[in-house]
Amino acid sequence: MNTSSAALSVGKEMVCYCTRCKMDLGHTIMSMVGGMPSRVICRTCKSEHNYKPKKGVKEPGATATGSTRTAAPRVAREAKAEKTVPVELEWMKQLNASNRPMREYAANESFLLGDRIKHPTFGEGVVQRLVHPNKVEIIFRMDIKVLIHAGAPKN
């Protein structure tokens, strides 16, 4: 019978203004009064608040009038965040390149460039730099660490 307001009902999702996030976001309708949403829950910040109509605000600080900002800056930011330091790739390369036997790491052992190290915490790694006088820079799967060792063997 009633078809005009069929789209809005309790439990349905709609885009309206979030008073906490200060922008238009998807909300779940919690209660209806007179065919209009009364209380809504923001799907982003999970706060329940009174229904506010859309303001056309897409980002905090942006104004509804004259704002032609698109999603482009956000996409760029996300792409940058995903581009993490490829330590793992470098680690894999060096581990494959080295044909030294795997040695247990110990601070009183001495290690050489290219030595393969097994560390109780960091796992397998490769010595990629000797730091004078008694430190070695080792590339592990997740991180590059500078660890102490006995130093270069004296001849």
Task: Measure the N-to-C terminal CA separation of the chain; round to a whole number of Å.
Answer: 97
Encoded amino acid at 13, one letter: E
Tokens found for residue 143:
């991180």
Query: Can you tell me the distance from the alpha carbon of 48 to that of 39, in angstroms, rounded to the nearest whole number?
Result: 7
Cβ–Cβ < 8 Å for 10, 31: yes
Q: How far is the CB of 75 from Zn ion (least distance, A)?
A: 22
Q: CA-CA distance, 132 to 70, in Å (whole number)? A: 52
Q: In sequence order, which residues have a C-beta less than 8 Å from that of residue 143 and are 6 or more positions away?
A: 87, 122
Least distance in Å: CB of 42 to Zn ion? Answer: 3
| Cβ contact 17:60 at 8 Å | no
Which residue among 9, 44, 50, 67 contacts Zn ion (CB under 5 A)?
A: 44
Among 8, 14, 21, 62, binds Zn ion (CB under 5 A): 21
- Closest CB to Zn ion among residues 21, 144: 21
Per rule CB under 5 A, is residue 42 in the interface with Zn ion? yes
Q: Give the residue nearest to Zn ion (CB).
A: 42
C-beta of 39 vs 145, nearer to Zn ion: 39
Candidate list 45, 113, 148, 152; residue touching Zn ion; CB under 5 A? 45
> Least distance from C-beta 47 to Zn ion, angstroms?
6
Of 19 and 94, which has the nearer Cβ to Zn ion? 19
Task: Enumerate binding residues for Zn ion (CB under 5 A).
Answer: 18, 20-21, 42, 44-45
